[in-house]
């Protein structure tokens, strides 16, 4: 029988997908998500759809599911045709915000107890929203007027206490908690937040005396570091997992804590090291697309004219470029194709990625979801084109000082960035031959940090390309408007990394 899992702050379900994907030798699932809790309506719709898919035996999801992904039927029709699975999925994925008057602790406890039944061997997973702890998010708040007071009053600092309360009251044998690396440097009232969180997680009953629970303690173990017998205690930095060292095509550095209840025996394993997986190896097979023109009439001809116009720009002729870079630009201009489209919510496709083929590919799908480009203003098209060619020639993304002056944005802060070198990498190409940089939710706002390595496509990454870099399977559809899809992908835990964590937990629990 599958080990139950409760997923808090589930987002679109990356951590849960990794646990759910693990199977035993007979093909049965090792873990089963019994309850996932998420407050965002779009992420919840994604969770619910994936919960529906997982209620069917592996490989036996109905054809209607694939018809929905291919946009042949609507969601309501899919659920109407499969009422039992839809009802179970709705019960599993709970749209709820912890810590509000509407969602009381009692209501949460009742849902958890109903989900677990009489099972005592189970796992708690998840991580509280992390924007308050991220270095960039913190700097924005602290740099504003009254920023220190606003930062310290941010209610998200206390969200982990809801996780903590469930540890104290429900006593899972094992938990997995994920959060941003920025926790290591974050302070609240001059106290290092992470030191307090570690102490609280180790003894949740003592941290929450109002819960009236005593005697539940946890050993906190990093997943990528092991200490020899007699060595000192783990350092906070030991809890940082560098995803690119474990086969994930992304340099994503996150805190991940494995907690083991003090009465549970066994020594946990560690994440396996793996050769780097590059951007091209996981997105290079996807259909080539063009971006759209923003703030003016868009068409293939208009887009192509806008891109090709850069060859007549003064900066291409005034000697500002060295010969090698100018020749690279001219060669790339010749490859700007006339037949590219913008993609769609479903694109027929039968290509195969070079790495993790078994993980991404579903032969029944016949295409990919969420592979549609967004629009860029004409000036950004030229900047993206230049940046992609520069990256191809130099092996790195250009800094602002590497751009021809005529290409620089007319923003007030550009001069400061050039002088102080702060945020002077605002046009970042995802290099084809390396893991990507961290996919974050800011990808929803603009594509400047997520430029495709192919200059002939002249665009930022699609949701599906970002999802591939996050290691979501191709049959995992993200619901909601495209901006919300980007947010979901950026906030998720890479499922393929989560699967490796699940293997460690399964071995620890004897599964």
Could you tell me if 271 and 293 lie in one domain? no
Helices (H), 203-249: 204-207
Sequence-distant (≥ 6) Cβ neighbours of residue 510 within 8 angstroms: 266
> Tens digit of pLDDT for each residue in 247-275?
999 999 999 999 999 999 888 999 999 99
Could you tell me if 380 and 255 lie in one domain? no
DSSP state letters, 435-458: -B----GGGGT-STT-B-S-TTT-
Could you tell me if 268 and 307 lie in one domain? no
| DSSP class of 339 | S
In whole angstroms, how far apart are CA 302 and each of 78, 305, 413, 488?
39, 5, 31, 32
Closest CA to 443 of 396, 394, 487: 487
Could you tell me if 258 and 143 lie in one domain? yes
Could you tell me if 49 and 158 lie in one domain? yes
How high is the pLDDT of residue 134?
38
Q: What is the mean pLDDT of residues 480-489?
A: 97
Answer for the pair 21, 494: CB distance below 8 angstroms, yes or no.
Answer: no
Looking at the chain, the number of H-run helices and the number of E-run strands are 20, 14
In whole angstroms, how far apart are CA 193 and each of 158, 198, 200, 288?
11, 9, 11, 45
Looking up tokens 């399964």 gives 506
> Tens digit of pLDDT for each residue in 230-246?
455 788 999 999 999 99
| DSSP class of 338 | S
Would the pLDDT of 411 be above 90?
A: no
Would the pLDDT of 193 be above 90?
A: no
Give the Cα separation of 264 and 104 in Å (integer): 30
Sequence-distant (≥ 6) Cβ neighbours of residue 284 within 8 angstroms: 353, 354, 432
Percent of the chain with pLDDT over 90: 72
Could you tell me if 391 and 304 lie in one domain? yes
pLDDT mean across residues, the chain = 90
Answer for the pair 69, 478: CB distance below 8 angstroms, yes or no.
Answer: no
How high is the pLDDT of residue 314?
87
Residue 207: domain span: 3-277+493-508
Could you tell me if 432 and 500 lie in one domain? no
Closest CA to 464 of 282, 294, 276, 341: 282
Could you tell me if 487 and 498 lie in one domain? no
Give the Cα separation of 471 and 492 in Å (integer): 10
In 10 A of CB 456, how many CB atoms?
A: 19
Give the Cα separation of 436 and 430 in Å (integer): 5
Answer for the pair 165, 211: CB distance below 8 angstroms, yes or no.
Answer: yes
Could you tell me if 262 and 290 lie in one domain? no
In 10 A of CB 245, how many CB atoms?
A: 17
Would the pLDDT of 149 be above 60?
A: no
Could you tell me if 406 and 476 lie in one domain? yes
Answer for the pair 100, 39: CB distance below 8 angstroms, yes or no.
Answer: no
Tokens representing 343 are 């993609």
C-alpha of 347 from chain center: 22
How high is the pLDDT of residue 422?
62
**Radius of gyration of the chain, Cα coordinates, nearest whole angstrom:** 24
Could you tell me if 301 and 200 lie in one domain? no
Answer for the pair 422, 416: CB distance below 8 angstroms, yes or no.
Answer: yes
Q: What share of the chain is helix, strand, coil (3-state, %, to 5)?
A: 45, 15, 40
Answer for the pair 346, 368: CB distance below 8 angstroms, yes or no.
Answer: yes
> Tens digit of pLDDT for each residue in 425-466?
889 999 999 999 999 999 998 889 999 999 999 999 999 999
Tokens representing 487 are 């947010």
Sequence-distant (≥ 6) Cβ neighbours of residue 137 within 8 angstroms: 131, 182
CATH code of the domain in which 155 resides: 3.40.50.150
Give the Cα separation of 13 and 35 in Å (integer): 11
Answer for the pair 429, 387: CB distance below 8 angstroms, yes or no.
Answer: yes
> Tens digit of pLDDT for each residue in 196-228?
889 999 999 988 888 778 889 999 999 998 766
Could you tell me if 464 and 498 lie in one domain? no
Would the pLDDT of 93 be above 50?
A: yes
Helix (H, G, I), strand (E, B) or coil at 390: helix
What is the per-residue burial (b if ≥16 Cβ within 10 Å, else e) of 110-129?
Answer: ebbeebbeeeeebbbbbbbb
Pairing label, strands 253-261, 240-242? antiparallel
- 132 against 354, higher pLDDT: 354
| CA angle, 195 then 201 then 207, to 5° | 90
Answer for the pair 240, 460: CB distance below 8 angstroms, yes or no.
Answer: no
Q: What is the mean pLDDT of residues 154-159?
A: 56
Answer for the pair 501, 258: CB distance below 8 angstroms, yes or no.
Answer: yes
Domain count across the chain = 2
């Amino acid at each position: 029988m599958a080990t139950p899992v409760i997923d808090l702050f589930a987002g679109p379900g990356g951590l849960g997908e990794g646990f759910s994907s693990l199977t035993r030798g007979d093909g049965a699932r090792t873990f089963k998500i019994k309850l996932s809790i998420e407050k965002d309506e779009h992420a919840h719709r994604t969770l619910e759809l994936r919960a529906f898919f997982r209620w069917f035996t592996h490989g036996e999801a109905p054809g209607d599911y694939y018809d929905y992904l291919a946009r042949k039927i609507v969601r309501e029709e899919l659920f109407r045709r499969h009422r039992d699975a839809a009802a179970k999925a709705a019960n599993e994925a709970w749209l709820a915000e912890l810590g509000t008057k509407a969602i009381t602790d009692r209501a949460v406890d009742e849902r958890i107890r109903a989900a677990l039944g009489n099972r005592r061997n189970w796992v708690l997973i998840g991580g509280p929203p992390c924007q308050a702890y991220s270095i960039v998010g913190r700097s924005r708040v602290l740099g504003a007027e009254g920023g220190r007071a606003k930062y310290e009053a941010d209610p998200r600092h206390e969200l982990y206490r809801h996780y903590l309360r469930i540890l104290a009251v429900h006593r899972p044998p094992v938990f997995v908690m994920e959060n941003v690396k920025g926790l290591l440097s974050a302070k609240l009232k001059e106290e290092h937040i992470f030191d307090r969180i570690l102490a609280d997680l180790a003894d949740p009953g003592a941290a929450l005396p109002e819960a009236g629970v005593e005697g539940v303690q946890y050993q906190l173990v990093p997943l990528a570091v092991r200490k020899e017998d007699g060595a000192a205690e783990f350092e906070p930095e030991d809890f940082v997992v560098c995803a690119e060292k474990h086969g994930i095509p992304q340099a994503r550095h996150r805190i991940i804590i494995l907690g083991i209840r003090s009465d549970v025996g066994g020594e946990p394993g560690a994440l396996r090291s793996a050769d780097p997986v590059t951007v091209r190896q996981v997105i290079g097979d996807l259909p080539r697309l063009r971006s759209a023109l923003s703030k003016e009439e868009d068409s293939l001809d208009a887009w192509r004219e806008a891109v090709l116009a850069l060859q007549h720009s003064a900066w291409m002729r005034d000697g500002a470029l060295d010969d090698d870079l100018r020749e690279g630009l001219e060669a790339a201009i010749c490859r700007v194709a006339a037949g590219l489209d913008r993609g769609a919510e479903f694109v027929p496709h039968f290509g195969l990625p070079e790495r993790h083929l078994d993980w991404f590919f579903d032969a029944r799908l016949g295409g990919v979801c969420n592979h549609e480009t967004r629009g860029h203003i004409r000036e950004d098209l030229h900047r993206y084109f230049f940046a992609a060619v520069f990256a191809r020639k130099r092996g790195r993304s250009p800094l602002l000082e590497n751009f021809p002056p005529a290409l620089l944005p007319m923003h007030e802060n550009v001069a400061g960035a050039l002088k102080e070198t702060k945020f002077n990498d605002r046009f970042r190409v995802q290099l084809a031959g390396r893991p990507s940089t961290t996919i974050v939710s800011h990808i929803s706002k603009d594509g400047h940090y997520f430029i495709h390595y192919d200059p002939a496509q002249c665009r930022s990454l699609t949701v599906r390309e970002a999802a591939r870099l996050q290691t979501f399977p191709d049959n995992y559809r993200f619901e909601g408007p495209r901006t919300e899809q980007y947010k979901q992908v950026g906030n998720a835990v890479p499922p393929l990394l989560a699967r490796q964590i699940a293997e460690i937990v399964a071995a620890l629990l004897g599964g």
